[in-house]
A and B are shown apart, each in its own frame.
Chain A
Amino acid sequence: MAQATTMGRRYRRRVFVNRVMLTLTVVATALSIIPLVLIIFYVAKQGIGSISIDFLTKTFRPITFGSTSTGGGVLHAIVGSALIVGLSLLMATPIGIMAGIYLAEYPSNSASTVIRFCVDVLSAMPSIVVGVTAYVLIVQRSKSFSGVAGSVALVVLMVPIITRTTEEILRLVPQAAREAAVALGAPKWRTTLTVVLPMALSGVATGVLLAFARAAGETAPLLVTVLGNNNLTFDLFGPMQALPLLAYRYTEQPYQVLNQQAWGAAFILVVIVLGINIMVRITTRARSPR
């Protein structure tokens, strides 16, 4: 009888502790989601009003005090972002994927150990440091701010993401698949290209998309390389505008109209980042190597 009550007490205590811990983890989870919800909600509330055909298809219109100008649109920033990020994607994708292949296929030689460490350090590098380096090496030497300098800075930020995701996903490809190809007399590069890479394609694409999303939203490295431009330009060798850059510049402006446009640009960025992440979810769920 006495034993039964102690058992009962212990059991009740165990249930109680379990409930407390569960509550704590639920609260912590909720806290971690709140910022995202707030950001999406607030940016949508402030920014969605700015979105219009004009906003998406017109470029900057000068504003003077007392005028009724709407400030035009942000087409120049959309074009600039597309060109700068597109160019960096073209450079970063092959470099990142090939580096990832090397790390996955030669996982434990001394070169890959060093490279892996360097890639990890690079991925933790503050983006302004990367931007300033690009400024010194490209902008100062070419004596001009340029979209290309911004692209190069973004490449440095994208490559580690693509490299590491490619490596991780290639390692999930079963050794038996590699052996199957090798036993048929396939050279290593052929095995990688026709067997290993296709099996990991959705994972590799995920890495590229995540890197793209990261680059699309980066502001700091663009500040010191791309500078900003109020006109629509397709010249990657001159100063350009980009969405995050425009959002930053416009919040500094004394004009209400431009502040509103900054929210609109922020809204577009959030939609892009959110859209890419949802795409990643869908593609990786569809087919992933087990």
Chain B
Amino acid sequence: MIASQTTNTNIYMPTDVDAHLVLDGLTIYYGAREAVAKTDLVIPRKQVTAIIGPSGCGKSTLLRSLNRMHETVAGAHAEGRVLLDGEDMYQSDIDPILVRRRIGMVFQQPNPLRARTIADNVSIGLELDGIGRRAKQAAVERALKRAALWDEVSDRLDRPGIALSGGQQQRLCLARTLAVEPELILMDEPASALDPIGTLRIEELIRDLVSEITIIIVTHNMQQAARVSDYTIFMTLNEHGSGSVIEAGPTQMIFTAPKNKLTEDYITGRFG
């Protein structure tokens, strides 16, 4: 059992997993308000970890703190450590920009860039590194293939990215993230703005990608968590109004034999 030094006794992440990301006493604040209470967690490598819980319980905040995206909101800050392969991403001499290149992110609303073509949407992350034209073309193709979008757009790479359907736009955003070759991808309800077919494609894609990359996905759709994830983290608001992790462990265990009453109530649809 990991994090046994904390008072939370319902974290059942197995100790024998290959830890990719370790949250060590991570506490997140908006100004003076504690948004997510002290959290200790292990995220296993090349697995899908789902974060579930009722609306407003701090799932997205926790997710966004992992690549320090929450810092773009004025007043937001965090204490504690986030260890990526043992290296603390919150160390004072680490630039959040470098953290975000190693830990990519896909958002709830597909956000392809207007006024940019499909190809340019994928390559924008590479432009930041000054990658040459030919290398860029190859990388665009590779990323689009990994995002299962290549066959649909290969003949119109110079069309605007926003001309695609919602589901295609989301896969375009995924391709954009994959193009910079992150080690880990955070997904903030990536399918909630999509129709059932778009959702299915994203879920299939997540299962395909996880053989080479670690994925953390926030979802309020429990069926989705059950379908795509290997591990599940359940959060809810504690008595102080801060989001806190109630229980975590292998998805099958959380969904069939939850240890905590709150988890069981949520899973069975009694609240949330």
Q: Which A residues have a C-beta under 8 Å from some C-beta of B?
A: 108, 174, 176-187, 190, 194-195, 198-199, 201, 287, 289
Check A195 against B67 for contact (C-beta < 8 Å).
no
- Asked if A183 meets B100 with Cβ closer than 8 Å, knowing A177-B113, A177-B114, A194-B124, the reply is yes
Extra A-B contacts (10), CB below 8 Å, given A183-B177, A184-B180, A201-B115:
A177-B111, A177-B113, A180-B173, A181-B113, A181-B124, A183-B67, A183-B105, A184-B125, A186-B125, A199-B115
Contact of B100 among A182, A199, A201 (CB under 8 A): A182
Give the nearest-CB partner of B114 in chain A: A199
Q: Which B residues have a C-beta under 8 Å from some C-beta of A?
A: 67, 69, 72, 74, 97-101, 104-105, 107, 109, 111-116, 124-125, 127-128, 173, 176-177, 180
Q: Using Cβ atoms and an 8 Å threshold, which residues of chain B touch A174? A: 111
Q: How far is the CA of A185 from the CA of B125 in the complex (A)?
A: 8
Task: With a 10 A CB-CB cut-off, give which of B111, B125, B127, B173 has the most chain A CB atoms.
Answer: B111
Q: How far is the CA of A180 from the CA of B188 in the complex (A)?
A: 13
Q: How far is the CA of A174 from the CA of B125 in the complex (A)?
A: 19
Q: How far is the CA of A182 from the CA of B186 in the complex (A)?
A: 14
Q: How far is the CA of A169 from the CA of B127 in the complex (A)?
A: 25
Q: How far is the CA of A180 from the CA of B115 in the complex (A)?
A: 14
State how many angstroms separate the Cβ of B89 from the closest Cβ of chain A.
Answer: 13
Q: Using Cβ atoms and an 8 Å threshold, which residues of chain B touch A178? A: 72
Q: Using Cβ atoms and an 8 Å threshold, which residues of chain B touch A201? A: 115
- Which 8 residue pairs are nearest across A and B when measured between Cβ atoms? A185-B101, A176-B111, A184-B125, A183-B105, A185-B100, A180-B111, A185-B97, A187-B97
Contact of B72 among A182, A184, A195, A198 (CB under 8 A): A182
Q: How far is the CA of A184 from the CA of B182 in the complex (A)?
A: 9
Contacts between chains A and B (CB distance < 8 A), count: 66
Give the nearest-CB partner of B100 in chain A: A185
Give the nearest-CB partner of B180 in chain A: A184
Q: Using Cβ atoms and an 8 Å threshold, which residues of chain A touch B112? A: 180
Q: Using Cβ atoms and an 8 Å threshold, which residues of chain A touch B115? A: 198-199, 201, 287
Give the nearest-CB partner of A174 in chain B: B111
Q: Using Cβ atoms and an 8 Å threshold, which residues of chain B touch A177? A: 111, 113-114
Contact of A179 among B72, B124, B127 (CB under 8 A): B72
Contact of B98 among A176, A183, A185, A190 (CB under 8 A): A185
Check A180 against B113 for contact (C-beta < 8 Å).
yes
Give the nearest-CB partner of A287 in chain B: B115
Give the nearest-CB partner of A187 in chain B: B97
Q: Using Cβ atoms and an 8 Å threshold, which residues of chain B touch A198? A: 115-116
Q: How far is the CA of A278 from the CA of B82 in the complex (A)?
A: 55
Give the nearest-CB partner of A180 in chain B: B111
Give the nearest-CB partner of A181 in chain B: B124
Check A184 against B101 for contact (C-beta < 8 Å).
yes
Give the nearest-CB partner of B127 in chain A: A194
Check A185 against B114 for contact (C-beta < 8 Å).
no
- Asked if A179 meets B180 with Cβ closer than 8 Å, knowing A184-B125, A195-B124, the reply is no
Q: How far is the CA of A195 from the CA of B124 in the complex (A)?
A: 9
Q: How far is the CA of A108 from the CA of B74 in the complex (A)?
A: 10
Check A186 against B111 for contact (C-beta < 8 Å).
no
Q: Using Cβ atoms and an 8 Å threshold, which residues of chain A touch B127? A: 194
Q: Using Cβ atoms and an 8 Å threshold, which residues of chain B touch A181? A: 113, 124
Q: How far is the CA of A178 from the CA of B98 in the complex (A)?
A: 17
Check B128 against A186 for contact (C-beta < 8 Å).
yes
Task: With a 10 A CB-CB cut-off, give which of A174, A178, A181, A199 has the most chain B CB atoms.
Answer: A181
Check B97 against A180 for contact (C-beta < 8 Å).
no
State how many angstroms separate the Cβ of B163 from the closest Cβ of chain A.
Answer: 14
Check B114 against A176 for contact (C-beta < 8 Å).
no
Check A176 against B124 for contact (C-beta < 8 Å).
no
Check B113 against A185 for contact (C-beta < 8 Å).
no
Contact of B177 among A108, A179, A184, A187 (CB under 8 A): A184
- Asked if A176 meets B125 with Cβ closer than 8 Å, knowing A182-B69, A184-B101, A199-B114, the reply is no
Check B128 against A184 for contact (C-beta < 8 Å).
yes
